[in-house]
Amino acid sequence: MNADMVGILSDTHDNIWALTAILRRFQEAGVSYVIHAGDFIAPFNAKYFADMDAEFLGVFGNNDGEKIGLTKAFSLVGDLHSGPHPLRIGGKRFLVMHEPGAVDSIAKSGDYDCVVYGHTHEVDIRTIPRASGDGETLVVNPGEGSGWVTGKATAVVLDLGTMSPETIEVPTHPSA
């Protein structure tokens, strides 16, 4: 397992075929930390994350209505939070949220090295210059892990050493 690799996904919306394919790719990449930016939907999804040899953190999305059930199911996997939620991984400062409100302003603040969000079902990977002029903040929306809306199930593997994100795409269904 590579301590410098983070797997980022969002909007899996109960597509277990795509979810398990993404988690398999995360394992192959040796990720040590998995971030989910919301919209798991049902608590049964926790069992697929349980086999990961990685730390886990997720935030609730706008479609995660069964928060008590999700929290209970994920209690053995990792933490679920209402977003936005700050955390540190490998010395890097992250903010994880579902909806994209104020993403650019937050990134410009310089308070975080990476701002992760979901909700739009579209991949958005870019850097935003900090207002102080001392560097940039990486913004990552991994797209949709389900592929239900766009037809593309995507996620991101982030190398913490270089802050280089790689978008991965998996089939949305076993026959795809």
Question: Would 23 be classed as within a structural domain?
Answer: yes
Chain centroid offset of residue 173 CA: 20
Question: Would 6 be classed as within a structural domain?
Answer: no
Question: Would 74 be classed as within a structural domain?
Answer: yes
Question: Would 3 be classed as within a structural domain?
Answer: no
DSSP letters for the chain: --TTEEEEE---TT-HHHHHHHHHHHHHHT-SEEEE-S---SGGGHHHHHT-SSEEEEE--TT---HHHHHHHHTTT-EEEPSSEEEEETTEEEEE-SS-TTHHHHHHHTS-SEEE--SS-SEEEEEEE-TTSS-EEEEEEE--SS-TTTS-EEEEEEETTTTEEEEEEE-SSTT-
Q: Which value, in Å, is the radius of gyration of the alpha carbons in the chain?
A: 15
Cα dihedral sign, 68-101-35-131: negative
Q: Mean pLDDT of all residues in the chain?
A: 95
Tell me if 139 sits within 8 A of 107, measured CB to CB. Answer: yes
Question: Would 176 be classed as within a structural domain?
Answer: no
Q: What is the tally of structural domains in the chain? A: 1
- Whether residue 97 is predicted with pLDDT greater than 60 in this model: the reply is yes
List the CATH number of the domain containing 138: 3.60.21.10
Determine the pLDDT at residue 90.
93
Determine the pLDDT at residue 176.
59
For 111-121, the pLDDT digits (tens) are 999 999 999 99
Question: Would 48 be classed as within a structural domain?
Answer: yes
Question: Would 2 be classed as within a structural domain?
Answer: no
pTM greater than 0.85 (yes/no)? yes
Question: Would 148 be classed as within a structural domain?
Answer: yes
Residue numbers of the domain that contains 142: 12-170
